[in-house]
Amino acid sequence: MNEKSIEVTTIINRLRNFITNSKKSQTEVARSIGISPASLSQFLSGSYKGDSVGIAQKVEMYLQQEAFKMNLPKMPTFTMTETAQKIWYAARYAHANSDISLVYGEAGLGKTIALKEYTKQHVGVVYVEARSCDRSTKGICERILKTIGKKVAGTDRVLVDTIIETLRDSGRLLIIDEAQHLSLKAIESIRSFNDDGNIGILFSGNPTIYDRMYGRGEAHFAQLFSRIGIRRAIPKDPVREDVETIFHDANVSDDCIDVLHALACDKGGLRYMMKIYKIALDIALSQEKPLSVDHLFHAKENKDGE
């Protein structure tokens, strides 16, 4: 056995151990490396007829990258803040009563995180994040159908009818996040899921969705607005208690909490704050020092290019 074959065998064994310990599938690994799942399977079995050394080199780089990721600072997991409680209440109401709820607020305030966590912790929730390309009835219906595992083609009517028949009287909740991207016709079509299928619906988005549903500039939305059971506005500036809750288990000083809260209120909300915290924690760990206010200001300078 030559030296190259020994190296390939070693890397194969390392990759097998990585897949076992990380719980990643071979398909996920193959996608990350940039080869087909079949080629990776053959490589792992030692039966690959192509450039095994070339694949081994890609695997080596991949394993190094994954090792680096594992050593990155651990970020706080989901916490039930005051804001999250408001969002969950709106979701629970629509879910339990097969009604319509609306959650709205500026970007970066934690709406999506809270809704994804609600989806994870509750049975019968369909979470869909609308994109600008989903603006039409066809676009958003196709995304909903893909999420619920239905492959259907046809007119808007066919797509809408399929969703209603699939979810009718099921007690399920359909969450449409980033709903400000949707057209009037698309939103009215989703409303019909509630009318004709008794399906709970939660719309979430930036303040534009509220303005439109209230009828400001688009009178057609007034009828929809009157059908909404629960409306929850997420304040632009997070309360300090939310920041304290998020970092409760992270051993963050009161001075740092003050700065983090100020950052969240300054611009970008909680999302901006978390990015600054992540950069600052990385700086602190590289210096083998506890997180400090100076680290946070340094991180802000790095992020904002100041």
Q: What is the CATH number of the domain that holds 54?
A: 1.10.260.40
- CATH code, domain with 164: 3.40.50.300
The domain tally of the chain equals: 3
Label the pairing between strands 125-129 and 100-104: unpaired
The last residue of a domain, from among 26, 44, 70: 70
> Helix, strand, coil: what percent of the chain each, to 5?
60, 10, 30
Residue 225 has pLDDT above 50, yes or no: yes
Q: Are residues 57 and 116 in the same domain?
A: no
Residue 121 near residue 87, CB atoms below 8 Å = no
Helix 254-266 and helix 293-304, axial crossing angle in degrees, nearest 10? 20
Predicted local confidence at residue 250, as pLDDT:
86
Q: Are residues 186 and 102 in the same domain?
A: yes
Q: Are residues 253 and 278 in the same domain?
A: yes
Residue range(s) defining the domain that contains residue 265: 240-304
CA atoms of 199 and 129, how far apart (whole Å): 18
The last residue of a domain, from among 215, 233, 251: 233
pLDDT per position as a tens digit, 134-149: 999 999 999 999 999 9
Q: Are residues 103 and 206 in the same domain?
A: yes
Mean pLDDT of the chain: 89
Q: What percent of the chain has pLDDT over 90?
A: 66
Distance of CA 186 to the CA centre of its chain: 22
Predicted local confidence at residue 84, as pLDDT:
93
Residue 1 has pLDDT above 70, yes or no: no
Predicted local confidence at residue 266, as pLDDT:
85
Q: Are residues 108 and 201 in the same domain?
A: yes
In a domain, 76, yes or no: no
Residue 42 has pLDDT above 80, yes or no: yes
Q: Are residues 187 and 105 in the same domain?
A: yes
pLDDT per position as a tens digit, 142-178: 999 999 999 888 999 999 999 999 999 999 999 999 9
In a domain, 77, yes or no: no
Q: What percent of the chain has pLDDT over 70?
A: 92
Predicted local confidence at residue 208, as pLDDT:
85
In a domain, 98, yes or no: yes
The last residue of a domain, from among 233, 261, 280: 233
Q: Are residues 140 and 274 in the same domain?
A: no
Predicted local confidence at residue 217, as pLDDT:
46
Label the pairing between strands 100-104 and 173-177: unpaired
